[in-house]
Amino acid sequence: MQLPLPEKKKCLLILADGAGDRPIKELRNKTPFQLSRKPHIDRLSALGEDGIMDSIAPGIRPGSDTSHLQLFGYDPHQYYTGRGPIEALGVGIDVQDGDIAFRCNFATLKDGKVVDRRAGRISEGTAELAKELNTIKITSVPGVQVIFKESVGHRAVLVLRGHNLSPMTSDNDPHDDGLAPLRPMPLEHKEAAHRTSAALAEFIEKAHLLLRNHPINRQRKLPANYILARGAGKLVKPPSFESKYGFKGAIVAASGMIKGVGHMLEMDVIQPKGATAGYDSDLIAKADAALEALKSHEFVFLHVKMPDLAGHDGDPGKKIECIEKIDDMVGYLLKKLDMAKTVVVFTSDHSTPCSVRNHSGDPVPIVVATEGVRLDAVKHFDETSATRGALMRITGKDLFPIILDLMGREEKYGA
Amino acid sequence: MQLPLPEKKKCLLILADGAGDRPIKELRNKTPFQLSRKPHIDRLSALGEDGIMDSIAPGIRPGSDTSHLQLFGYDPHQYYTGRGPIEALGVGIDVQDGDIAFRCNFATLKDGKVVDRRAGRISEGTAELAKELNTIKITSVPGVQVIFKESVGHRAVLVLRGHNLSPMTSDNDPHDDGLAPLRPMPLEHKEAAHRTSAALAEFIEKAHLLLRNHPINRQRKLPANYILARGAGKLVKPPSFESKYGFKGAIVAASGMIKGVGHMLEMDVIQPKGATAGYDSDLIAKADAALEALKSHEFVFLHVKMPDLAGHDGDPGKKIECIEKIDDMVGYLLKKLDMAKTVVVFTSDHSTPCSVRNHSGDPVPIVVATEGVRLDAVKHFDETSATRGALMRITGKDLFPIILDLMGREEKYGA
């Protein structure tokens, strides 16, 4: 008897952002995964090998940026240098090696104090304001160019481009309303740090002059008359996904940070109509986009932000609702996927327990399903059941090799 | 529904030194943990997430010094350079960067041979002998100062202080009775190693001359007339516990080595009256000291040495007795602790199987308990039950991040 030769597979990695949780006292010490009706995700559990995963390491509280880099097989300690560059990539700025990027807020300054760090959660007109800010010329530091782009709501990104710049600069964000903004200062005695903090200070001053007189702001009770910058980072360009793995990868996402990671790795970033980073996202539109992408890409990543929002909101009822919506999406996908030809992974990037209202260091459940994978007895996808699975406890670093191996696309280490 | 905002917690880490064991053939293949009556430690197991922990790595036999450094989140590969400096800190010497420290024994030399490595387990008069040894001036090597201090019983510590010294020197301890002492030799061809071994050799010679004529020794059958040195180490000063974590830490311990680790990390080291490193230690006095310390410190470490002694003695009956004494202490503590505000950890630094009579590389059971933690089905604290817990298998490196995360005191890695 001889079994047929194996075929190479594709992979769909579905990620429910921040869905992992802790037992909730108010809900009989159960987690949202345990309380959700989710027949399709549970079916995936039954079809695959289950386990728990620390995306960075046990106890470490991962950001969404660092954890996603790690889940795609990129060491965040090497490529993560602050959130700025990823945000800049997320809004579509063609960030280049050596650029310094900052996350920014449109804010309201009054009598020398930041009275609203979000300028009344401004939602319209920021593109026009940003256009104005791109006219700013830095004169105190030679050879520095300004690129400014609005993002969602009050958010925006500033990129300083030029030779000899450094992320070792403090920023001007006082991080609370009612305080005076800070003066950007070099964080080390090197010319690059001095150049960068001087350029940032000049930008902020000139931005204020332009913004406070802008017609859009004249009508606002809380004018977007000031820019707060934070999270300075210098892009360290990693090898592209395709050059690293030898096949094409696509990301279906709406969240700026996740799209930023996709751009950073030069993956195809797809945001279908109706897909948002909010509770209202059209998950079937996302599923369709992922299925379409699987025709032309070997690896497709499908990101759903909403359970993380519910975790940050401390709302377990909402989180259960999100998980059940995701379950509908998984059911829709499973009907159309051929498990003989596809590795389907379902997991989270980190836990966002409702009782913590932020990311925690608790591991997340994970299932890796495809025809022929080692099966275990786990039939429910949740934090406790997963600890009895065949994968046992892995880290994010292990995930991509496991996926590549099951796809039949991994090089042998040795002979 | 919105859950309340979480509060920051404190942590009490209780450590039963060397309590982990292997199945004992003579006792129906059970371990001391399995054979002990320990309702309170078992209750902790039920209240927490359980697992097994390799304090360094699977199979590695940890020392108490290296494992404690690791359990407090300090990489022993970076900060552990031999036992000498930790012993020196433990006896209260203000060890400085660059000092070379040795563990010493008072021993008996007769006809050029070490006839008793412990000088008849001398227990009195060593302070006087040490005083004498501090008068020694090193003349063969310029700029080297001698600091000598007695410890418990026949034990003592020697510190050589001066510029350009090195721990790369062999020592004079033949490690068995009836052998001639060895001559300290440089272990590398560098000036610092030559200087240090020469200074050590001169110290040992001069110490012998002083000791053999000392009145205390004239009355002894086994005179403490010779110094055996070993475990040369150079202090590499780690950042203090408080500067590393941003909150205060205290150690309740009687064992010199553990107190040494505490001094090394500039933690508050507390040894209440009645607390010893022996079988007779007053564990309720230790518990009270820990409860008191929790009022003014965010992290308190409570160390109990006795099960390790029983392991080294190869006495499982004694070990069971020690565990049951510790259980009484845990019961006393649990009555007074608020699990909503405290993370309580119970574990060992390493296994000291009675059948091995020394530290082994077997992992130790661990439980991390606090309100809201992920519960598992483990209700008995022992080597086998713990393997079915939610923590699964972690290393000592993971412990402090897990603790910090549950305390709500960990920075996020990324955004």
**CB proximity under 8 Å: B 366-385 to A:** 371-376
- Out of A26, A80, A83, the one facing B3 most closely (by C-beta) is A26
**If 0-12 CB within 10 Å is exposed, 13-18 middle and 19+ buried, where does residue B332 land?**
middle
Contact B415 A356 (CB under 8 A): no
For position B25, what pLDDT does the model report? 96
Query: Minimal CA–CA distance to A151: which of A100, A221, A93?
Result: A93
Helices (H), A162-233: 191-212, 215-218
Q: Half-sphere exposure (CA, 13 Å, Cβ side) for B219?
A: 5
Residue B231 and residue B200 in contact, taking contact as beta carbons nearer than 8 Å: no
Q: Could you give the CA distance from residue B291 to residue A407 in angstroms, rounded to a whole number?
A: 55
Residue B247 CA to its chain's centroid (Å):
22
Type of residue numbered B354: C
Q: Is B222 helix (H, G, I), strand (E, B) or coil?
A: coil
Touching check for A70 and chain B: CB below 8 Å?
no
Q: Is A147 helix (H, G, I), strand (E, B) or coil?
A: strand
What pairs with residue B186 in β-bridges? B169
Q: Could you give the CA distance from residue B375 to residue B76 in angstroms, rounded to a whole number?
A: 31
What pairs with residue A364 in β-bridges? A53
Touching check for B75 and chain A: CB below 8 Å?
no
Q: Could you give the CA distance from residue B274 to residue B287 in angstroms, rounded to a whole number?
A: 12
Beta strands in B40-135 (DSSP E): 48-54, 100-110, 113-116
Residue B6 and residue A357 in contact, taking contact as beta carbons nearer than 8 Å: yes
Q: Closest-CA residue in chain A for B400?
A: A59
Residue B125 CA to its chain's centroid (Å):
25
Query: Minimal CA–CA distance to B237: which of B85, B383, B45?
Result: B85
What is the distance in angstroms between the CA of the first residue and the CA of the last residue of chain A? 26
**CB proximity under 8 Å: A 219-278 to B:** 231, 257
Type of residue numbered A94: D
Rg for chain A (alpha carbons), in Å?
23
Q: Closest-CA residue in chain A for B340?
A: A25
A219-222 long-range contacts (CB < 8 A, ≥24 apart) are: A220/A119, A220/A120, A220/A122, A221/A120, A222/A108, A222/A115, A222/A116, A222/A119, A222/A120, A222/A122
Q: What is the β-pairing status of strands A145-150 and A155-161?
A: antiparallel
Give the torsion sign (CA, A17, A20, A25, A27). Answer: positive
Q: Which two tokens stand for residue B359?
A: 């530290």
Contact A63 B4 (CB under 8 A): no
Touching check for A29 and chain B: CB below 8 Å?
yes
What residue segments make up the domains of chain A, in order of their start? 10-79+239-407, 86-234
The pTM (predicted TM-score) of the whole model is 0.88
In b/e form, how buried is each residue of B21-59, taking b as 16+ CB within 10 angstroms? bbebeeeeebbbbbbbebebbbbbbbbbbbbbbbbbeee
ipTM of the complex in this document: 0.86
Contact A26 B5 (CB under 8 A): no
Contact B413 A356 (CB under 8 A): no
Touching check for B407 and chain A: CB below 8 Å?
no
Rg for chain B (alpha carbons), in Å?
23
**415 residues of chain A, pLDDT tens digit each:** 999 999 999 999 999 999 999 999 999 999 999 999 999 999 999 999 999 999 999 999 999 999 999 999 999 999 987 888 988 988 889 998 889 999 999 999 999 999 999 999 898 999 999 999 999 999 999 999 999 999 988 999 999 999 999 999 998 999 889 999 999 999 999 999 999 999 999 999 999 999 999 999 988 999 999 999 998 999 888 999 999 999 999 999 999 889 999 999 999 999 999 999 999 999 999 999 999 999 999 999 999 999 999 999 999 999 999 999 999 999 999 999 999 999 999 999 999 999 999 999 999 999 999 999 999 999 999 999 999 999 999 999 999 999 999 999 999 999 8
CATH number among 3.30.70.3270, 1.10.3720.10, 3.40.50.2300, 3.40.720.10, domain B10-79+238-407: 3.40.720.10
Fold that domain A10-79+239-407 belongs to in CATH: Alkaline Phosphatase, subunit A (3.40.720)
Residue A196 CA to its chain's centroid (Å):
26
Q: What is the β-pairing status of strands A48-54 and B299-304?
A: unpaired
How many CB atoms neighbour CB B205 within 10 A?
13
Touching check for B112 and chain A: CB below 8 Å?
no
C-alpha distance from residue A405 to each of A67, A231, B120, B272, B409 (Å): 21, 36, 63, 57, 38
